[in-house]
Amino acid sequence: MKQLKRDKQRIKIVLITPRLAIGGAERLLIDIAKKLNRERYEVYWCALEPTNDAASSWEQEITAAGIPFRALASDKRSLYKLGRLWRLVKIGFRLWRYLREIRPDIMQTQLFADLYRPIGRLARVPIIIGVEHNLDYDEPHLFQIIKKLCHASADGVIAVSEAVRQDVIKRYSYTPNKVIVIYNGIDETKFYRPLSVSKMHDPRSPWRIGGAGRLVPQKGFDILIKALAKLPAEIKWRCQIAGAGPLQDELASLIKNLNLEHKVSLIGVHSDLRSFFSRLDIFVIPSCWEGLGLVALEAGAAGVPVIASATGGLQEIIQHRYSGFLVDNLQPETLAQALEYIFIGDGAKELSIWAKNWQKEVMSRFTITQTACHYEEYYERIIHKKN
């Protein structure tokens, strides 16, 4: 096995992702990679699939930061199962050849790239780490079986919350001491804005509600739309949902069927979330499940009060009616009741307190600088253990 670097030598880390696409996991990894100490770590990025068109600017951001980027496959995909299987084999061979070329000390995988961790073993990479971002309740059963079979190929696993840690221990049969928690962090400079009473809701204006994320079943935007339709007519509100995904047409039809076209807008991927947050009175995260919820941290840094489903990592980081509002047993009815409490009940008086406390929590505990430091500490521990 390759001898690991001595303390004063640079450590080569290659980050393996399925592809570069717009998503919280990818955004987090980019921010961490840019923050790692370059005097100690030499960082590479390898995508198994080509970059998503929407994320081309992210690829430019990676290379501009001095991180070599390589995609292993072309866009050409076979329509036949045998052709698709052969393509996966070719990607595996190209990954093996790439790893033998750069000879990293650490290979770090996330999402479905975890399935290729055994290739790292074949390429004699000394340390292999996985990062788990979500609870993956909708993960295909076949992937779950394969990841379970491959779990021994990881020297360690980073989970973004305790909920995710417990889930992967149970789901993939990891030994508990192999999985640690490192909470996500955000680049607070991109989102922070000072809190001001003048920026709180004006009772003469409609409530400005926002949501953001991939338009997929996990994110529960259909629940939010149905909840809004149940609000009393005397409540004036407008809602914007930022994001894109396979449910866009379905959500648009739901909005039309509920006669909410003039109140709910699907605005697509928003390149400047800070300006998006600045227009909101409240931010809603109606997720059916969530590993942590990076967007909750972003909204918090921007000083927007958050109402979220009490699930996964969200209930670890948000304290109910102290730094936000958590909704148990999320359904359109329960979310509508929570919104009604805030809009015409006593909750409106608490919004500024939630915003202040949540912003303080985010800025003191969940910055990308802190997260990158925790990753570096973990790398050093596992290197020391291997040596």
- Say if residue 141 is exposed, middle or buried (CB neighbours under 10 Å; 0-12, 13-18, 19+): exposed
The CATH number of residue 154's host domain is 3.40.50.2000
Per-residue pLDDT, averaged over 25-51, amounts to 93
Whether 1 shows a pLDDT value over 70: the answer reads no
Same domain, 179 and 223: no
> What percentage of the chain has pLDDT greater than the value 70?
94
pLDDT of 200 above 60: no
2: in domain: no
Same domain, 254 and 135: no
Same domain, 82 and 205: no
The predicted pLDDT at position 152 comes to 80
Residue in this structure with the two tokens 């992937």, named with its chain if needed: 143
Q: How many CA atoms lie within 13 A of 261 on its CB side?
A: 4
The answer as to whether 6 is a domain residue is no
- What is the total count of domains within the chain? 2
Tell me: do 299 and 167 sit in the same domain. no
Range of the domain at 223: 188-365
CB 232 within 8 A of CB 344: yes
pLDDT, tens digit (0-9, with 9 covering 90-100), for 155-177? 999 999 999 999 999 988 899 99
The answer to the question of residue 3 being in a domain is no
Give the burial class of 258: count Cβ atoms within 10 A of its Cβ; 0-12 exposed, 13-18 middle, 19 or more buried: middle
Asked if residue 345 is part of any domain, the answer here is: yes
Residues 320 and 373 in one domain: no
* Claim to verify: residue 148 and residue 212 sit in the same structural domain: no
How many residues belong to the chain?
387
Lookup: tokens for 283? 């931010």
CA–CA dist 25, 326 (Å, integer) = 23
Start-end of H helices in the chain: 24-35, 56-64, 81-102, 117-122, 141-149, 162-172, 221-229, 248-257, 273-278, 294-301, 314-317, 332-344, 351-365, 368-386
Residue 36 inside a domain? The answer is yes
Residue 115: both structure tokens together: 């399935």
| In a shared domain, residues 233 and 155 | no
Confidence of residue 202 (pLDDT cuts 50, 70, 90): low
Whether residues 54 and 66 share a domain: the answer is yes
Q: What is the pLDDT of the chain when averaged over all its residues? A: 90
107 shares its domain with 30: yes
Same domain (yes/no): 92, 181? yes
CB count in 10 Å sphere of residue 144: 13
- Indicate if 59 and 198 belong to the same structural domain: no
Contact between 127 and 99 (Cβ < 8 Å): no
Residue 38 forms part of a structural domain: yes
The phi, psi pair for 362, rounded to 5°, reads -60, -45
**Residue 173 located in a structural domain:** yes
**What pLDDT, on a 0 to 100 scale, did the predictor assign at position 50?**
86
Instruction: Report CA dihedral (335, 341, 344, 347) to the nearest 10 degrees.
Output: -120
Residue type, 140: P
Are both 97 and 224 inside the same structural domain?
no
